[in-house]
Chains A and B, each alone.
Chain A
Amino acid sequence: MKDQIKSLQERIKEMEKVVEVLIIAIPKEESSYKFYLELANSIEHEGSRRMFIKVANQELAHKGMLEMELKKLQQEIASLKSER
């Protein structure tokens, strides 16, 4: 029983480390999105502008993926904590 609780705590700790990485990564994706979008808005050349908008949208998609992962992890941690 003790070993089970210990392994559960270790698992929660590991997951919290991943949450920490995600919570730091999300604002970085957001600032990258803003950076590419501002760059796109400041460029007159149509091809380059389109390319930067595409890259900005990719950053936004990354942010969405990370947010989904974060939500999933937070739910999993909450359920593991209730089990403990």
Chain B
Amino acid sequence: MRTNWAEILKKIFPEKTKIKIGLLNIPFHAMFVHFPTALYPVAIFFLFLALLSDKDSFHNSYFYLMIIATLFTPISHFTGIHEWKKKYRGVRTHIFISKIRYGRILILVGGLCTTWYWFYPGILDNTGVLNIVFIILNISILLLVGYLGHLGGKLVYGLPH
């Protein structure tokens, strides 16, 4: 059975919960999802600039953008799950299962890339297998973000004909 917290709060505190109920109805997922969606591609753009020109400012921009995007990804994921349970009744169809699965992978891959660069910032200066793996992981973030955005677009703007 679905738990409707807004209704429960309304019954317990009829007058005092207007603000709380209002807060529960704010579309948090729509607000938070744009941070990783926008910041990951820009971070990866700076990664490629850093690879091409080797300027410190590009390295720093990549790193700071990755930190912000990585912090917002789990928030976006959990607000998305909340919305799925509340708005879409937690129905397990292909679109939601894919969104949850790839969202989890994005948390892992994004976190891995950020942590990796945090502890070994020289990864971009070296050449070798690890360097290639690091770049591939970053490109996979781009693909994941694109696919998740595509699925989100389907939910908001409708399924294709």
Interface residues of A (CB under 8 A from B): 16-17, 19-21, 23-24, 27
* B93-A16 in contact (CB<8A): yes
**Chain B binding site: helix, strand, loop or mixed by DSSP?**
loop
A12 and B155 CA atoms in complex are apart in Å by 21
Closest to B90 in A: A23
Contacts A19-B93, A24-B88, A24-B158 supplied; 14 other A-B pairs, CB < 8 Å: A16-B93, A16-B94, A19-B91, A20-B93, A20-B94, A20-B159, A21-B159, A23-B88, A23-B91, A23-B93, A24-B154, A24-B155, A27-B87, A27-B88
The yes or no answer to B89 lying at the interface (CB within 8 A) is yes
Interface residues of B (CB under 8 A from A): 87-89, 91, 93-95, 154-155, 158-159
A50 and B93 CA atoms in complex are apart in Å by 38
The interface residues of chain A lying within 8 Å CB-to-CB of B154 are: 24
A19 and B158 CA atoms in complex are apart in Å by 14
A65 and B39 CA atoms in complex are apart in Å by 41
- Expressed in whole angstroms, the minimum distance between the Cβ of A20 and any Cβ of chain B is 4
Among A16, A17, A19, A23, the most chain B Cβ lie within 10 Å of the Cβ of: A23
The interface residues of chain A lying within 8 Å CB-to-CB of B91 are: 19, 23
The interface residues of chain A lying within 8 Å CB-to-CB of B155 are: 24
The interface residues of chain A lying within 8 Å CB-to-CB of B94 are: 16-17, 20
A24 and B160 CA atoms in complex are apart in Å by 12
A19 and B159 CA atoms in complex are apart in Å by 12
Closest to B95 in A: A20
- Expressed in whole angstroms, the minimum distance between the Cβ of A37 and any Cβ of chain B is 15
The interface residues of chain B lying within 8 Å CB-to-CB of A20 are: 93-95, 159
- Expressed in whole angstroms, the minimum distance between the Cβ of A78 and any Cβ of chain B is 12
* A23-B159 in contact (CB<8A): no
The interface residues of chain A lying within 8 Å CB-to-CB of B159 are: 20-21, 24
Closest to B93 in A: A20
The interface residues of chain A lying within 8 Å CB-to-CB of B88 are: 23-24, 27
A17 and B154 CA atoms in complex are apart in Å by 13
Closest to B158 in A: A24
A21 and B87 CA atoms in complex are apart in Å by 14
Could you jot down 19 A-B contacts, CB within 8 Å?
A: A16-B93, A16-B94, A17-B94, A19-B91, A19-B93, A20-B94, A20-B95, A20-B159, A23-B88, A23-B89, A23-B91, A23-B93, A24-B88, A24-B154, A24-B155, A24-B158, A24-B159, A27-B87, A27-B88
